[in-house]
Structure formats: structure tokens, C-alpha cells
Amino acid sequence: MKWLVGLIVGALAGWLAGKLMDSKHGIIVNMILGIVGSSVGTFLLGLLNLSSTGGIGDFVVSVLGACVVIWVGRKILK
């Protein structure tokens, strides 16, 4: 059940990150980016010896990670 909640949170985070970053991708791609971004955000926080707590913290980390993934993708594809 926890993985399903994680997928839903990642999908919502990707959608929000797509809106924040003015992404031209479709909603499905943004959802996938949110799921990947969740892992990226957690990894980046780990590098800084930080972690998120609670559902809201996890959501914020997912959004930030998805924004990073979108930004990197733009730089690579430019």
C-alpha cells in the first residue's frame, strides 16, 4: 500500500513541478518525472545529510526533485 501512495505523491509532484517549471510535456511525462524526481530529491538530500519527515516533507522533496529532473533534461536536450 505504501508504494501506491508513493506513486500517487510522485505523480502529483510531477504535475506540480511541470506547472512550476512551465514544462511543455504532457501530464503522463510529468507524472513519470515526479516519480523519478522523488528518488532524485531523496538522493540529493542524502548528499547534504538531510531527510524529509512526514507526508508534506516527502511531497516537497518530490516536487524539488522533479524540478531538478526537468531542469537537467532541458540542459541536456538543448
Average pLDDT (46-54) is 88
Q: How many domains does one find in the chain?
A: 1
Show the domain range for 42: 2-77
pLDDT tens per residue, range 10-35:
888 989 999 999 988 887 888 888 88
pTM over 0.95: no
Instruction: Give the CA-trace dihedral at 40, 42, 48, 54, to 10 degrees.
Output: 150
Cell numbers of 66, please? 522533479
- What are the C-alpha distances in Å from 25 to residues 3, 29, 39, 65, 74? 25, 6, 20, 17, 11
